[in-house]
Structure 1
Amino acid sequence: MSETLQTTALQTTGAALDDADLLSRTAAAVRAAGAGLRERFGDVVPYRTRDELMRALADNDDTALGILRPALTRLRPDAGWVEDELDGGALPPGEWWVVDPAEGNVNHLHALPEWAVTATLVRENQPVLTAVHLPLTGETYTALTGGGAHLDGRPLHVSPTADLGLALVATSQARPDEDEEVVRRVGSSITAMLFGALVVRTAVPATLHLLNVAAGRIDAFWQFAGARADLLPGALLVAEAGGRISDAEGRPWTPRSESFLAAAPGVHAEAVKTLSR
C-alpha cells in the first residue's frame, strides 16, 4: 500500500474511533514517546547559560514530539495542536490536542526521575480524555470523561481523608521567572498549609502531584498561575477519581483561572479556607 493510501486509511480509522478506543491509542502514543525520552535519560546534562538550557530542553521536546505528534495527528487529523507547556487560557472551538512532550523536562536534564509524557484531547474547551506515561516506572495513567480514572487498567480513587490536619498536601512552581505577586502568594500559601496540614510537599512538575491525588496517595494539590498542559491531564484524572477541582477560592476552575486546587472531597473546603487566608 502506498504511503498516501496508508495515511488515508489511518485517518479514516481515527475518525471512526469512539473515545474509549481513542484513549487506548493515545496511551500507546505516549508510551512510545516516553521510550524515546528514556533512551536519553541518565547523566546530568551540563549547561552554562540560559540559551544552552533552552536548547537542551528543546532537544528533549523534539525527541518526544517526533513520535507523539504524527501518532496523534493520525488519530484526529482535524484536531488543533498545542505543545507550549506554558500556554494558558481558553482554546478556540473544536478539538485540540494539548500535550506536554516532556512534563518535568528540567528534572530529566538533571537526572531526576520525576518526569512524564502527557496527551489530552480537549473538545469545546472540555478535557475528554488524557494519558500520562511515566517511562521510568512503566506506569500509564488514563482518564475518560464519564469513564473513570485508571492506572494500567486499575481504577483510581481519591483519598477518604476528612481532616486537613491529617492530610499530605503538595504544591508546585508553575513556571520560572514568575512575577513577584505570584511568588509572594505561593510563599504565603505554603506557610498557611504548613500550619494547617500534616505535611507539605513542594516540587515540579504539577502532573505528578495530581497523579498522586487521583491515586489517593496525597490529599490535595494547589498551584498559583499555571498552564493548560500541566493542569488539564491531572484535573481530569482527579475529577474522574472522585476528587474536587476548583480555584483556590473554591470557584469553578477553568484554564483562565489564576489558581488551581484539586483535593479529596473531605478536605477540599478546609483547603480552600486555608489558602484564602
Structure 2
Amino acid sequence: MEKDQKQPYVVSSKSRVAVAINAASKTGEWIKSKVGDHRQLNIKTSSQDLVTEVDKGAEQMIRKLVQTYCPGDEFLGEESAGIGAEASANAVDAVKDAEYVWIVDPIDGTTNFVHGFPYFCVSIAVAHKGEVIVGVIYDPTHDELFVAEKGKGAYVHGNLMKSADHATLNESLVATGFPPSTSVELKTKALTDILPKVRGVRNVGSAALHLAYVAAGRIDAYWEIGLNAWDLAAGALLVAESGGTVTDVANNPYDITVRNIVASNGHIHNELIQQLHNSGLNA
C-alpha cells in the first residue's frame, strides 16, 4: 500500500519509537525553558565546543526514560562518551554490535542554545545490531518533531516527508557546518569552491537539523566532516526514509561509525561528492 502523505503517522504506545518521541518532546520543552537561563558554561575541546549543565541534565532525563521503558538497552550519549575524536570512536565501537543501543545528542546546537539563536534540537536514534532503526529529532523552538522508522518512511508534524527533486547542483540549496575538530583550510576550500556552483549555502549550526531539512526537502544536500554518531544517526535515517541518499565523503554507505557525512536528495549526490573530492575532501 502506497504511503498517503495526508495520512497521520501513528505509533504503538509501547514501541521504542514512542519512547523516543516522548523523551525528545519532554526534554526539548525543558531545554526551551532554560534558554537564557543556563548557569554554567564549560569548554570541551575549544571555545567553539561548549557544554552546559542543561546538556548534562537533558541527557540524564533521556537516559532515565530509556532505563525505565527499555531497561536492557545500551545507551550512547554525547555528554557521557568522553571528549575528543578518539574517545568518541571508542564509545561507538563499544556498543556498535549491541542488540539495541540508544544514540543521543541531548542538545545538538549547544552554541546556538547558549547564544539564544533559535536552531537547536534533541536528537535520539535507536540502532539494532549497528543498523539505525529509529530516528527522532525535536526542535522545541519551532515545535517541529521529525520521526523515522526503518522501512516506514519519515514524517514531520505526522505528515510524510519527501526529499527535494532538484537534479543539479546549480539549482540546489545546500548546507554545511564547521566543527572545531576539523582544519580551517579543508572547510574553507570546500566552501569557496562550491559557492559559485550552487544556488546558495546555509549553516544553521546543527547537524541534526540540517539532516532533517534534507529529509523535508527544505535543502537539497548537506555535508560536514569530523562529526560523531550522536550528531548523525537520527538524521541519517530521516534522509534515507525520505528517499534521499546518505554516505561518507568517499561515497561508502552510512553506518554509525561514519564521521564525514554527505546527505542529499539523491539526484545531486554523485555531483556533490565529485565536487568535494575536487576540493580535497575524499576520505
TM bracket (short chain): 0.7 to 0.9
Task: Kindly indicate whether residue 125 of structure 2 is the aligned counterpart of residue 124 of structure 1.
Answer: no
| Cα distance, 1:45 vs structure 2 | 7.0
Task: Kindly indicate whether residue 78 of structure 2 is the aligned counterpart of residue 102 of structure 1.
Answer: no
What is the CA–CA distance in structure 1 between the aligned matches of 2:231 and 2:177, rounded to whole Å?
10
Within-5 A mapping of 1:251-270:
251-270=252-271
Consecutive aligned runs of 4 or more in structure 1 exceeding 4 Å deviation: 17-20, 43-47
| Cα distance, 1:75 vs structure 2 | 2.1
**Unaligned stretches of 5+ residues in structure 2:** 1-10, 279-283
What is the CA–CA distance in structure 1 between the aligned matches of 2:131 and 2:65, rounded to whole Å?
22
| Cα distance, 1:184 vs structure 2 | 2.0
User: Which structure has the bigger radius of gyration?
Assistant: 1
Query: What's 2:170 paired with?
Result: 165
- Residues 179-223 of structure 1 deviation map (CA, whole Å, 9 limit, x = unaligned): 53xx32222211221132111113411111111100001000001
Instruction: Report the secondary structure of 1:207's partner residue.
Output: helix
Instruction: Report the secondary structure of 1:112's partner residue.
Output: coil
Q: Is the 8 A contact 1:44 1:110 kept in 2?
A: no
TM-score by structure 2 length? Answer: 0.82
| Cα distance, 1:266 vs structure 2 | 1.3
Identity %: 26
What letter matches 1:185 in structure 2? L
Query: What's 1:142 paired with?
Result: 147
User: Residue 78 and residue 18 in structure 1: after superposition, are their counterparts in 2 closer, same or farther (change >3 A)?
Assistant: farther
What is the CA–CA distance in structure 2 between the aligned matches of 1:19 and 1:250, rounded to whole Å?
37
| Cα distance, 1:82 vs structure 2 | 0.9
Instruction: Report the secondary structure of 1:266's partner residue.
Output: coil
Query: What's 2:3 paired with?
Result: none
Q: Is the 8 A contact 2:12 2:18 kept in 1?
A: no
User: Residue 229 and residue 46 in structure 1: after superposition, are their counterparts in 2 closer, same or farther (change >3 A)?
Assistant: closer
Higher helix proportion (structure 1 or 2):
1
Q: Is the 8 A contact 1:60 1:105 kept in 2?
A: no
Query: What's 2:98 paired with?
Result: 93
Once the two structures are overlaid, the 10-residue window that deviates more, 245-254 or 123-132, is 245-254
What is the CA–CA distance in structure 2 between the aligned matches of 1:149 and 1:108, rounded to whole Å?
26
| Cα distance, 1:50 vs structure 2 | 4.0
* RMSD after superposition: 2.6
TM-score by structure 1 length? Answer: 0.84
Query: What's 1:30 paired with?
Result: 24
- Residues 57-111 of structure 1 deviation map (CA, whole Å, 9 limit, x = unaligned): 2311133123211111222111111112662454243211111111111111111
Task: Kindly indicate whether residue 198 of structure 2 is the aligned counterpart of residue 197 of structure 1.
Answer: yes
What is the CA–CA distance in structure 1 between the aligned matches of 2:14 and 2:263, rounded to whole Å?
24
| Cα distance, 1:46 vs structure 2 | 8.8
What is the CA–CA distance in structure 2 between the aligned matches of 1:45 and 1:224, rounded to whole Å?
31
| Cα distance, 1:131 vs structure 2 | 1.1
| Count of aligned positions | 255
Query: What's 2:7 paired with?
Result: none
What is the CA–CA distance in structure 1 between the aligned matches of 2:276 and 2:14, rounded to whole Å?
37
User: Residue 275 and residue 35 in structure 1: after superposition, are their counterparts in 2 closer, same or farther (change >3 A)?
Assistant: same
**Unaligned stretches of 5+ residues in structure 1:** 1-16
What is the CA–CA distance in structure 2 between the aligned matches of 1:223 and 1:264, rounded to whole Å?
16
Query: What's 1:4 paired with?
Result: none
What is the CA–CA distance in structure 2 between the aligned matches of 1:129 and 1:25, rounded to whole Å?
10
What is the CA–CA distance in structure 2 between the aligned matches of 1:236 and 1:19, rounded to whole Å?
21
